Amino acid sequence: MPARPANNPVFAPPDGDVGGFVDAPTGAPPPIPRRATAADARPTGARRRKLGEILMEMGAISPSDLARALILQRRLSARMGDVLLRRGLVSEDVLADALGEQRAMGRAGPAPRSSVSSDRLARKLPLSVALEFRALPWGRVGGRTVIATSCPENADELRAAIPPEIGPCLFAVVTDTVLDARMQQVHGPALARAAECRVPRGMSCRLWRARPGAAVLALMLVAILYATIRWPLEALRLATALGLAVMLGNLALRVAAAVTMHRATAPFVSVRPVEAAARKLPCISILVPLNREPGIAAELTARLSRIDYPRELLDICLVVEEADTETMTALARADLPIWMRVIAVPPGYPQTKPRAMNYALNFARGSIVGIYDAEDAPAPDQLMIVAGRFQTAPPDVACLQGMLDYYNPNRNWMSRCFTIEYANWFRLVLPGIARMGLVVPLGGTTLFFRREALEDVGGWDAHNVTEDADLGVRLARRGYRTELVGTTTLEEANAAPFKWVKQRSRWMKGYILTWAVHTRNPAALIADLGPKRFFGLQLLFLGSILNALLMPTLWSTLAIMFGWRHPILDWLPGDGIVAMAILMISATLLSITVTSIGCAAPHHRHLRWWIPTMEAYFPLATLAVIRALIEIALRPFHWDKTEHGAFGGAAAAEIYALERTVAKGSIAAVPRAGHGG
């Protein structure tokens, strides 16, 4: 790249050249009909030079480069600087030089060294203003404060937002990379603390305390143990009846979802990438949280590079804990493209994925914010489909949830069962309850939000280890809707029983805390959701918890086959045995049928033979919920990390093979708007 031109003033405190900086008045702007602008510093009638002209004069780009960039700019409605930068035609430094000359601001020099005085000066600009206008006080020159910004086109609005106590100002251009680094240096600790409590207290589980929780759990266990010893048959009868009721309620919900999807004459509205490309595309920021995963950096970069979305409008943020030096080092060696950057999260408590995402949200640049996990392999056209749906969806559709699938279903029996379970959840249950107008508990990845709505509900609860499901409830309570979008992301199935229990216990713990938080004021919850969605939420959350917890009582009915009279028979018609047999056999066959419907996709049909064996898979959930209850009492906010990349290089071949199969049998579609409510 060419050297910086000598005629471009660069701020270098305290003796820097100030000839190119734009002055800002002290105090509030005078009450005149027109706001003074940077253009007023130029002679009357002077035309602001085009950025492309300046870069060509600098020798940074050729006429053919500029012609291609202009075509892309018009097609994408993107900033010229972003087009040139993301296409690798200019560097950040050269672009900042040209912008400074274009705006008559000059170029800010290196970031000030962190010190008490320099940091105090930087904090004089309110944090909200600094984030909105991408600006920070950089130093002092001749009694004036130099404000460095990476968005010089917003200098007029920035000038109006500067508090009077900062005094006279000069403006200078700085690169995004340098500004972000200085922003995290100055405001990182404050932003990290704010990330821990973005959600209002009444909607967060951060008020939960382990010691009182342990005491409550101990009292409950003592009461259950006493009742079991004092009235053993009555306790077993009552628990079995409750277990049957919960099982039938959950089954009824699945059946209702299947019937809803079957009855819909046009259950999906097609969304084709070519239609999205014909409209103005939004800038999309993707947050990818990483934690102690140095070995996955190269593969992750390769997978995300396959995304077919204009790089000028793509902002992928790899979110890493500052203390995770191994992952940070691996990413530094990975030679990340310009549209992919690392955001280091300062230390704090709790050290969870939602806290990290809350922090990273401050630095995201898109109007749409998406979430991927580290091991995800999204469909290449996924973001085009998402952008297309947001372009046509009503404003109350705040979230799009993509489908999740597994690229290693044939690894072993566990991976087959896991794949079957997820096929039903994402292809049948969630689309069905969305069409019924019920609350949609979100998955933790392949989520896309309108940024305004996400910030309106306070982002994620940093203390909730199932932050996705909780966020789905809060969106619904604020009147927003979630839709299931017909695009698939491939993940690695958890194929080891112990790791499966650890992962599921975290999900169960989050479900329990989410249910407790939102149900502690039932009247307010009913007022927000309405009776139908309130009842649906109880089925989804409390039903899932109780179903896993009470499953052993249903196993106890197998004793009837060996001649033992179970106390539940006293509450059934006749001698009870025939009624119990009909009930259990019918429920099992109906469950198998619904599960088979959920495995209708071509790449899932071969798994249908394994559905009957799921009866041996579900008991693991009982171990998970017991572990979750213990953790709620002892360490409620502990995050049990799921290990990724267990199968190494074999994953890539499996991903690409399954992608081809999915592409042949899937429809890029979403549930039709206007359903239920």
**Is the C-alpha dihedral spanning 39, 45, 46, 48 positive or negative?**
positive
Please report the pLDDT score of residue 42 as a whole number: 46
CB burial of 271-309 (b: ≥16 within 10 Å; e: otherwise) equals: bebeebbeeebbbbbbbbbbbebbebbebbbebbeebeb
| pLDDT over 50 at 261, yes or no | yes
Q: Which of 303-312, 567-576, 642-651 has the lowest mean pLDDT?
A: 642-651
In the chain, the amino acid numbered 445 is T
Q: Which pLDDT belongs to residue 635?
A: 87
* pLDDT at 462 (0 to 100): 96
Q: What is the pLDDT of residue 73?
A: 86
Print burial letters for 12-32: b (CB count within 10 Å at least 16), e (below 16): eeeebebebbbbbeeeeeeee
The total number of residues shown for the chain amounts to 677
Which is more confidently placed, 18 or 266?
Answer: 266
Residue 154 burial by Cβ neighbours in a 10 Å radius (0-12, 13-18, 19+): middle
Contact criterion met (CB below 8 Å) for 283 and 368: yes
Q: Per residue in 318-340, is it b (16+ CB within 10 Å) or e — as a string?
A: bbbbeebeebbebbeebebeebb
| Tokens representing residue 636 in the block | 């409620």
Rounded to an integer, what distance in angstroms lies between the CA atom of residue 471 and that of residue 475?
6
The answer to whether 122 touches 182, Cβ cutoff 8 Å, is yes
Residues 463-505: tens digit of each pLDDT? 999 999 999 999 999 999 999 998 899 998 888 899 999 999 9
Confidence of residue 661 (pLDDT cuts 50, 70, 90): low
The predicted pLDDT at position 228 comes to 83
Find the mean pLDDT for residues 92-111: 92
Bridge partners of residue 63, in order along the sequence: none
pLDDT of residue 273: 65
pTM of the model: 0.88
Share of the chain above pLDDT 70, in %: 85
Got the DSSP string for 214-227?
HHHHHHHHHHHHHH
Instruction: Considering only residues 268 and 244, tell me which one the structure prediction assigns the higher pLDDT.
Output: 244
Q: Name the band, by pLDDT with cuts 50, 70 and 90, for residue 36.
A: very low
Domains in the chain with CATH codes: 10-29+46-195 (no CATH), 200-677 (3.90.550.10)
Q: Tell me the C-alpha distance between 273 and 86, whole Å.
A: 21
Highest mean pLDDT among 42-56, 252-266, 375-389: 375-389
Using CA atoms in the order 406, 407, 409, 414, what is the torsion angle rounded to 10 degrees?
-60
β partners of residue 137: 147
pLDDT value at 1 more than 60:
no
User: How high is the pLDDT of residue 170?
Assistant: 92
Tens of pLDDT, residue by residue over 417-463, are 999 999 999 999 999 999 999 999 999 899 999 999 999 999 999 99
The distance in angstroms from the start CA to the end CA of the chain is 57
